[in-house]
Chains A and B, each alone.
Chain A
């Protein structure tokens, strides 16, 4: 079965620290991968997506993710987090015409 797993449920960082959130997927073949962010009390917003091409994907707000096919991974990174990055982050993916599968989310708390 298709699945997406996120390594950490909670991450706490200080401002200016670097961020890496892990995501692994279990799809075969062509895969489409996403990172979404959900700020407190708000709905999901797309941070970035990978469909094909350059495996290093740049998204909004200084986030980027790297697709590593050999590791089935799509980790999210940001060199220096801000307090305003406090949110829940979801990795998601689908293959072919399948439905989108979400990871369980990582809650990021950035302390000022």
Chain B
């Protein structure tokens, strides 16, 4: 199993640009999550999904959209990037036992 994969690893955007961060898992987990990690803030939940076709907002959803058309994929879209979205983004999936598996992260810089 590849586990949770994320692409790209690094990205630089200009303010106002849009982009999609990709996340995929091959463990057939129903639950998937997007977090952002900022210094001194820990990880904060952006959006999550409890299964294909079902998504919900987390703690910091503004400026981000998600969709879950398949169990495997959970892309995160930035509609109009802002410098405040400069962060490290982690995707995760949760197995039925409750343990979460994290992807390697995407480091995003918005100029």
Interface size of A by CB at 8 A reads: 20
Query: Which one, B33, B50, B97, contacts A100 given CB within 8 A?
Result: B33
Interface size of B by CB at 8 A reads: 22
Chain B's closest residue to A100 (CB) is B100
- Measured CA separation A10–B104 after assembly (Å): 24
Q: Which of A66-74, A77-85, A101-109 contacts B (4 or more CB under 8 A)?
A: A101-109
Encode B91-103 as 1/0 by CB contact (under 8 A) with A: 0101001111011
Q: Is B41 an interface residue (CB 8 A)?
A: yes
Are B90 and A43 neighbours in the complex by a CB distance under 8 Å?
Answer: yes
Chain A residues within an 8 Å CB radius of B53: none
The DSSP consensus for interface residues of chain B is: strand
Q: Is A35 an interface residue (CB 8 A)?
A: no
Chain A residues within an 8 Å CB radius of B97: 51
Are B43 and A102 neighbours in the complex by a CB distance under 8 Å?
Answer: yes
- Measured CA separation A102–B33 after assembly (Å): 13
Write the residues of chain B forming the contact surface with A, with a CB cutoff of 8 angstroms: 33, 35, 40-45, 48, 50, 58, 90, 92, 94, 97-100, 102-105
Write the residues of chain A forming the contact surface with B, with a CB cutoff of 8 angstroms: 9, 32, 34, 42-44, 46, 49, 51, 90, 92, 94, 97, 99-105
